[in-house]
Structure 1
């Protein structure tokens, strides 16, 4: 196994963890996966919407990492960074939006 393939597998595993955690936040409403400030400040009526947006934010980061792992596995290209950056920016924007909208 080449060093590049090892990196791709490691990033892929990391991506799956992010996707799984995002799924838990979104579908199972596991708000406790976030910092205690969030589950102290988000009202019970807003919990479902907050968890959905936050969960999808984490899933977007995971998808960006997953695509990065695939690109690294296929080719050693700078496109992998673009995939990561895009997923990270979209995911982080979702997390910031959810925090700004629902933390009171």
Structure 2
């Protein structure tokens, strides 16, 4: 139960950070080496993709807790894995496209 409560809190933090990155274009919330080679013209789409990836991961964390709490099973972890992997793929695709590589 405590782990799941932490998941919901982390999920809300991820959603908040994702929203700040996407809507407020605060890419400074991401480590600087991730956006050093992003051009000024690409900062808006880069921030959008990175923010959406954070939000997706946060929603997955919250849904994990809801599903596990309601069903009294661990099926919610399937949602967590799917959303986390999907968000990570979104990160890597944005990094490759806008930062010319992952590092």
TM over 0.5: yes
Match of 1:73 among 48, 60, 69: 69
CA contact (8 A) 1:31 1:38 kept: no
Question: TM-score normalized by structure 2?
Answer: 0.90
2:74, 2:66 → 1: CA distance? 13
Match of 2:4 among 8, 11, 23: 8
Question: TM-score normalized by structure 1?
Answer: 0.89
**Misfit runs of 4+, over 3 Å:** none
Encode CA deviations 1:58-104: one digit per residue, 9 max, x unaligned.
11110110100112222332311101011101111111110000003
- In the alignment of these two chains, the number of paired residues is 100
How big is the alpha-carbon RMSD for the aligned residues of Structure 1 and Structure 2?
A: 1.2
Encode CA deviations 1:26-65: one digit per residue, 9 max, x unaligned.
0011111111112321111000000000100011110110
